[in-house]
Structures are given as structure tokens and as C-alpha cells.
A and B are shown apart, each in its own frame.
Chain A
Amino acid sequence: MTTAIAQDTITLTINGKTVTAASGKTILQVCRDSGIYVPTLCYDERLEAYGGCRLCLVEVKGQGRPLSSCTTPIREGMEVTTDSDRITRLRKTVLELLLSNHPNDCMLCEKAGACTLQELVYMYGVRYDNYYGEMWNLPKKDDNPFISYDPNKCVLCGRCVNICQNVVMKGTIDMTGRGFYSKPDTAFGKPLTPDICVFCGQCVSACPVGALTEKQARGKGRVGSVERVRTTCTYCGTGCNFYLNVNKGKIVKVTSDYAAPVNKGNLCVKGRFGYDFIQHPDRITKPLIRREGVTDTSPEVLKDPMAVFREAEWDEALDLVASKFMELKNKYGPDSVGGFSSSRCTNEENYLFAKWVRVALNTNNVDNCARV
């Protein structure tokens, strides 16, 4: 959310390499733009940098102490080093501290494989048993349809609170409690309900660890076992992008596409959690033909559609549709038939549908529901 105001450019060096970037950017942003890796935990592109985790430390020549790259703006002639013995030592200490109050639960954790803490601990070779401290043992919370919260896994990065307050502007959750016991929660620890929470799941998408996870997806496949397919939401016309997570032919979860031009990883309750319908048992999966002699069209039909329709193979159904339309067209003329398509369908389908009406029915009697 940082907006570069001044347009002039600045030249600096990072790890000895000369880089030019727009002024107003932070060291971290410039590193990322130039493909230089700097570890982060509390940084989220959608948020103003918070500067709380101290993992993104870098050395800047002439500065006695390392600086957090996510909050430090670039300056002309700056000489930045992203790795040094001192920085590695400091980062390790941060990680050791975090591990000291973190359950050893990666085996069963939904986030394993996509967890920033797990990744960094692996990268820096921090051992689990190096540091003993008091551990939280707080109850897990999932008394709502979509969001599971395990406060014991929280690393206090503040991203969930920050995004709920400043991007969603709901303020549903905040840092509660003091000192060692401070953690994100709702006021008075109340369950998430529609009057306080819009269930957008932005908090879940911001959490770098397994503290906030998608409840419906539990046990259905972690990052290593799913295929992620980037697509566009089927609900409203905003056009949010996201990843459908597919495990053995089943859609098990939706995850954020942080590079999406419109939504930058944010979604609403429908986009993020509204995928159950796709493989719902109510789906019509075979062509259906009205049974001979059955004329009922009343709302009763919905109670038992199979009393009114029978299953058919595609060939039979398509032959019937084709011959019926040909018959009507020949008998009453092309103006007696037509088609109605919808904004639910893709561009390609709408195009083909209109083409089919114009070409095969030979009429311009084609409309769509976009008036609505």
C-alpha cells in the first residue's frame, strides 16, 4: 500500500550490485523487485510495513546497527548488504525465540509446506530443542463456519489484525491481553459471527503460519499434495483472481493470488469460501428429458425432479434438441425460436451461443440477462 509520491530515481548498491529504483520505495521493495531474497514474517504487500518481526534486517554501510529493510526507505548512494554473520545470528535468535513458544506440530499442521516459520527454521537450521521457555497452551477456536484459530501457533506478526482493521476496516480482531499472553482475538474472545465479521478470510490469507487456517479445508490436502489452478471468481463482476486447490479431482480450498490486479490476494466470503456448490451432490450431471405425458411445471417439480424427467445420454438429448428446433423453425419460421444466454457464462460461450442462434436458427432472437 506504499505509494511512491516522487517520481525521481535513486541509485544504490545491494550486495555490491548497482540498482536504480524509484524514490519512496523501501529497501525491501527494491530487493524484491530485483529478485534479491530477504526473509520476512510481518511484512505484507497489502499493508503498511509494521516492522515488528526483525527478520528483514539488513546492514547499511555507515549505520552501526542493522536496519529493518521493510521500513527503511532507500537513499542515494546507500550500500546495502542483505546477509552477514551478524545478521544471520540475529535472525537465528528471532527464530529460536519464536520456536521456544511454538508447538512442535508441523506433522499435523494445515500450513506445513506453506508456512514461513517452518521454511525459515529450515533455512537457518534452527533446532527445535535449542531454547526452552514457557509455552502457551490456549484452547483452539473454530466456533464459526469458516475460520480455525490456534493461538498457540501465533507468532504475533500482527498481519491479521492490521489487515482486518486497515484494509477490511472491520476491526473485528485486535491484539488482546498483555505481555507474554498478548495475542490477536475478538473483543472478549467472542466467537466470529456475521454481526462483527464479514468472513472475508483476509486475516487467514495474511497469516504466515498455521495459526489462522480455513476450517472447511482441514485434512483435505496441504500444499504439497494439491494442484493450484489460477482462475477468476464466478460470483460478482469485480473479477477477483484466486487459486483453486485441487486434490485428486476434488476442489478442497481457495487460496489467494497476491499478484491479482484487482484484488491483490483479498477476497470476499463468496470467493474464498463459496466453492462447495461445485461438486455438490445436487449437480445435474446427465442430460434430462421430460417424461412422456408428464406436464407438471409447478414448484412441486423441484421436490422430486426425477419424477418429471428421465436421464438420457448426450447423443439422444442433443439429437432431440436439434431436431425439435429444426422442426419449429421450418414449421413456424425462424422468428418463432430464439435463445437467451447469461452473464454467468464465459465470453466464449456467449459468443458461440449468439453465433449458434444466428447461424443455425437463422434469427437475431437472442438476448442475455445483462439488463439485470
Chain B
Amino acid sequence: MAGLATSLGAGAASNSLEQIKDADVLFIFGSNTTEGHPIVSLHVNAAIRNGARIIIGDPRRIDLVKFSDVWLNLRPGSNIALLHGLIHIILRDGLQNDEFIKNRTEGFDELREAVKKYTPQYTQQITGVSVDKLEKAARLYAKAKNAMILYGLGVTEHHTGTENVMAIANLAFTCGHIGRPSTGIMALRGQNNVQGASDMGPAPNVYTGYQYVSKPEVREKFERAWDVKLPTIAGLKSVEMFDRAIEGTFKGLFTMGADTAHTDPNINHIWKAFDALEFFVVCDIFHTHTTRFADVILPGASFAEKDGTFTNGERRVQRVRKAIEPLAGMAEWQVLQELSKRMGFEMNYTHPSEIMDEIASLTPNYGGISYERIEKQGIQWPCPTKDHPGTTTLYELQFNRPSGKALFVAVEHAGSGELPNTEYPYVLITGRRLQHYNNGSMTRRVRGIMELSPEETIEINHADATRLNIAHGEKVRVSSRRGEIYVKAEVTQRSQAGNVFLAFHFEDALTNILTSGVRDPIAGTPEYKACAVRIDKL
């Protein structure tokens, strides 16, 4: 989300999901919405039924391709070239929104320079997308009345993830497609509460609501509220904590609800880090690859066992309600409170609503949120005061940067961090499947889901399968520079020749043994969407 933060001043979806159905062009980029966000895809369906034109940007022939006007079947890792290629065409044909550019943006001249070299031919060379398709997509998007871009992890999970997002923003600004209902940029992110977790400030450089630790007036506000002296410098990012654990200078870690030893890329490195810790506490509801490194495992409570809130991908703060008692007797908020007390810092909340009241008092965007107000229906932040209705569309009048204007960032195509070669000739893309969720610890324990989707398979194109003499359903070895796994082949037209696809939902086929440790240096997001592998017949 660092990309949107730079370009727009905030890292969140600009519109509400409800508005998707009234857009006349949807550009769906790096999101297999049908499987990753099934209910968002119903909003897309509604738009299609209302006559919207659809542009898909995805290396895989995802389901939505069949409803699309153009499928931009780009090579993994060529997002920036593709987007700047589109902008090139738009500027060449004078389809840009000059008024918007003039009144509401900065940095356009630099961008104009940067996109000069991305001629349709050059773009085709890098991305593999034909000139025809580029021309068609550029015109569709630029001429739309209300165009929305929906992007997913296929955009951010690259080592140029942040720049990819900036390039998306560049495209939207060029056409003025932001800041109105049914017009904007929607980030479709992975997990249920990623928006909320980002908002709440478990992050080394910010408190809640993206308020910087380094700003004295912010820090003092939190010091007053929490009645302690707070550290003045930013802390370590998780990757840095893991690296320092291996170096021996980071000793103790508490992990709450994350299965890093399964879901992080290049997990061998993570496993080494966890082994090196002197004391490791894990709070989870099931045993996972992470808990096996623990010194103490604290039982977590599932969402059905506690009151609280989640903030969804359109910034809507919604209630989670306790349906049954916590199986282990306590929910995490109670555990943290007990732990804190034992370390000499009293916390005395009697109900999570009181925690939300404290959050609201310290976080301008959440200022007007309370359990009472969201009892019937969740509210979309920014909601600064108790009488503010919340915000469905961001940036109607100005952007969140100091100048109030959006910023074009002249990024450059850089490709993937790891490219295929003769030894590892295939590009592995990883992602999600409809029936499963993340490390699979929950969905693998749903009997019916296991009947439908019992094991990991690798998607491989017919042409490649024929060359390797691999049959549908045959077990194969997939290896990268970091390790190997064994899975059945799913011979398909979904993945294009040269690309293969794996999800990461199973304990015995650990996809992330293969993935590379290359990260986006700005956001720290791992490059899940492209690493080089080889496939061997057994």
C-alpha cells in the first residue's frame, strides 16, 4: 500500500464496493476476483449485466476473461511496462484529461518523459501483449465515463510492487479516473482484516491511523494516553527481526495469529530465524508450521468466540460478535491484558467496545466510530466525528498529500527479481484457490471443502505438459534454487505456456519452499508472483 500512499496520500481503496456495478469500464488487474474475492466478483457481474466493458490484466486465463473485451495477458513482472505502454497510447492520441492533470496533479512532465519510450511495439516486446490489445484497452479505459481499476496481489506481490501500484495510479490520474462515485482505484487485498491491521498500527514506524512515531506531537499524545515514555525511533520490520534473529541480536518474539513459517516466501530462511530465537511465543487456534518452533503456545480464539471489529477492503468498520464462549476460556484481548498486567502495566478493559473507544480517541480517521454507531451497519472511514456519516468516495475534493494534489511518479520497468533460465525455465506464480484460505489451517478442517479440493496441484499449460511428457493428474517434482515439492499436475489452458501456478494452502506441499526471498524494498512485500522453477517427470 506504500504505492498508493505516495501517489494519493493514503493507502486504501478509493470507493465502496457497491459502486462497482455502476462503472462503465472495469480494469481488473492482477486479481482473480472470482476465486480471491468471490463476493466482489458478484459486483463485477452486476456491472457486466449493466453493460460495463471489462479489461483484464493477468498472466492467467482467469474466469473473468470470458466476460472481457480485452485480455492483457502480460508476462509476470511486466506490469509497469504494460501500464506505461497504455499511458503512452493515451497521450499519443490526446485522450488524457488535461483539466484533471492541470488542476489536481503534480509531476506530469516527468511522467510524460518516462512513458515516451514505451511505444506499443516496445511494450509488446516486454509484456508479450499484442499491440492491438494495448490500443484497444487504452482507448476503452481512457474514453470511459466512470472507470474503476480493481487490483489484487498480482500487482503488489512483486519486488516492484510499490512501483506497480504507482503506475496504476499514473494511469488513473492521466484520465482523471478517480475521486468520483464508481470511478477510482480499489485494492483487493488478501486477508479479512488487512485494512484494519494496517490501520491499527502494529507497525514499526506508525501508531494507529498512520500517525508517525517520529512526530513528537503524535508521540506525546500517545504517551499521555498510555501514561508511559515511548521509544522515539522506528522499530524493526518483520524481515529485519528475522534477519537479526539469525545474526543473534534479536532474541524474543511474540507472534499473534500469523503462520509465517508457512506463508512467507523462502521459508527455509524463516525457519532458521525461528530456530535461532531464544524465546518464541505463538498464539494460534491450531498447530501450524510456526507453532512447532514455539517455546510457549497460547491458544487463540476464533472469530466466533469474541466481540470486536474487522475493517474490510472498502474501509468499512464492521462488528464481529461473540457466538460461543472462547474454547480456551479467554480471547486474545483478555490474554494481552493479563500479560501486560504481569509486566507491570495495568490494562482494565471490561469489553472490546472500550478498546474501540480508546482507538477512536487517538485516531482521527476512526474518531466517530463506536460500537453503538456500527451496531446496525458498518461505517467507512474516514469518520472523524460522532455525527460524521463516514466516507464512501475518497478524494472528491482533494488528495491526502500536503499540496492536496495527486503525484505522478515516473517509475521504470525493472522485471522480476528472479528470471527463468535453462536450468529453471518456468515462471511460478502463486495464489489462492476458491475453496481454501491461506495456510489452510481453517479450510483444511472443513470436511466438505476437503472433498472438493483435497490436495495441491500445479497448473501447467498443455504445450509444456506435452513437451515434458506429463499427463493430467501425474505426480511431478517442482524445484527452485531453494527447494523442491511433489504435486500432481493439472494440465490446463489457464496458465500460459512458460508459466505454472500453485496455491499455498497445504501443509505437505509447501509452495513457499520454492518462492524467492526477493522483496519489494519499499513495502517489504515478498515476490510471490514470480520465481523460476523447473518441473521434472518422476
- The residues of A with any CB-CB pair to B shorter than 8 Å are 1, 145-146, 166-169, 194, 198-200, 215-216, 227, 229-241, 244, 246, 249-251, 259, 261-263, 266-271, 273-280, 282-290, 297-299, 301-302, 305, 308-309, 314, 317-326, 328-329, 332, 334-360, 362-372
Contacts and interface: CB of A to CB of B under 8 A. Distances in A.
7 contacts: A240-B39, A302-B507, A314-B338, A326-B343, A340-B238, A352-B333, A360-B339
A99 B316 CA distance: 45
B260 A340 contact: yes
Contacts of B49: 166
Contacts of B356: 347-348
B202 A277 contact: no
Contacts, number: 474
B109 to A, nearest CB: 32
Nearest to A48: B49
B366 to A, nearest CB: 8
Q: Which of A145, A231, A285, A319 counts the most chain B CB atoms within 10 A?
A: A231
Contacts of A320: 296
B435 to A, nearest CB: 6
B471 interface: no
B230 A232 contact: no
Nearest to B275: A297
Nearest to B44: A169
Nearest to A273: B448
Interface string B204-237: 1101100001000000001000101111011111
Interface string B157-198: 100000000000000000000000000000011111111111
Nearest to B11: A370
A335 B312 CA distance: 32
Interface stretch (B88-96, B439-447, B495-503): B439-447
A332 B284 CA distance: 27
B144 interface: no
Contacts of B199: 347
B340 A262 contact: no
For the complex, would chain A's binding face be called helix, strand, loop or mixed by DSSP majority? mixed
A356 B336 contact: yes
A277 B449 CA distance: 11
B333 A348 contact: yes
Contacts of A266: 39, 42
Interface residues of B, number: 152
Given A317-B296, A367-B238, A359 B226 contact: yes
B446 A277 contact: yes
A230 to B, nearest CB: 6
Interface stretch (B97-105, B113-121, B298-306): B298-306
Interface stretch (B126-134, B322-330, B418-426, B479-487): B322-330
Contacts of B324: 246, 249-251, 278-279
A71 B331 CA distance: 49
A-B pairs, 5 with minimum CB distance: A239-B312, A346-B308, A364-B235, A145-B448, A268-B38
B141 interface: no
B168 to A, nearest CB: 18
Contacts of A282: 286-287, 445
B197 A350 contact: yes
B299 A290 contact: no
Contacts of A237: 37, 188-195, 312-313
A259 B318 CA distance: 13
A231 B323 contact: yes
Contacts of B1: 370
B468 interface: no
Contacts of B257: 341-342, 344-345
Contact of A343 (B39, B193, B342): B193
Contact of B446 (A233, A276, A334): A276
Given A352-B337, A353-B336, A358-B230, A340 B236 contact: no
Contacts of A240: 39
A267 B39 contact: yes
Given A278-B304, A372-B525, A344 B448 contact: no
B21 to A, nearest CB: 8
Given A237-B188, A237-B313, A249-B324, A231 B299 contact: no
A367 to B, nearest CB: 4
Given A167-B42, A237-B313, A346-B310, A268 B434 contact: yes
Interface string B323-363: 11101111111011111101111010000100110110000
A277 B358 CA distance: 32
Nearest to A295: B275
A27 B346 CA distance: 59
A369 B327 contact: no
Contacts of A146: 448
A279 B174 CA distance: 51
Contact of B359 (A263, A325, A348): A348
Q: Which of B39, B236, B253 counts the most chain A CB atoms within 10 A?
A: B39
A302 B157 CA distance: 29
Interface in B378-409: 378
A284 B287 contact: yes
A289 B359 contact: no
Contacts of B447: 145, 216, 276
Contacts of B410: none
Nearest to A260: B377
A366 B275 contact: no
Given A236-B38, A358-B230, 8 more contacts: A236-B190, A237-B313, A276-B448, A321-B298, A340-B241, A341-B202, A349-B336, A370-B189
Contacts of A334: 231
Contacts of B208: 351, 354
Contact of B352 (A309, A348, A369): A348
Contacts of A308: 292
Nearest to A237: B313
B250 interface: yes
A368 B202 contact: yes
Interface in B1-58: 1, 17-18, 34, 36-40, 42, 45-46, 48-49
B281 A321 contact: yes
A283 B39 contact: no
B194 A364 contact: no
Contacts of A339: 202, 253-256
B359 A302 contact: no
Nearest to B287: A305
B524 A371 contact: yes
Contacts of B305: 278
B302 A234 contact: yes
B285 A283 contact: yes
B177 to A, nearest CB: 22
Contacts of B188: 237
Contacts of B318: 232, 239, 241
A299 B377 CA distance: 44
B313 A350 contact: no
Contacts of B203: 354, 366-368
Contacts of B45: 167-169
Given A283-B286, A364-B233, A261 B378 contact: yes
Given A194-B453, A342-B257, A284 B297 contact: yes
B293 interface: yes
B253 A337 contact: yes
A346 B199 CA distance: 11
Contact of B39 (A238, A305, A341, A353): A238
B198 A368 contact: yes
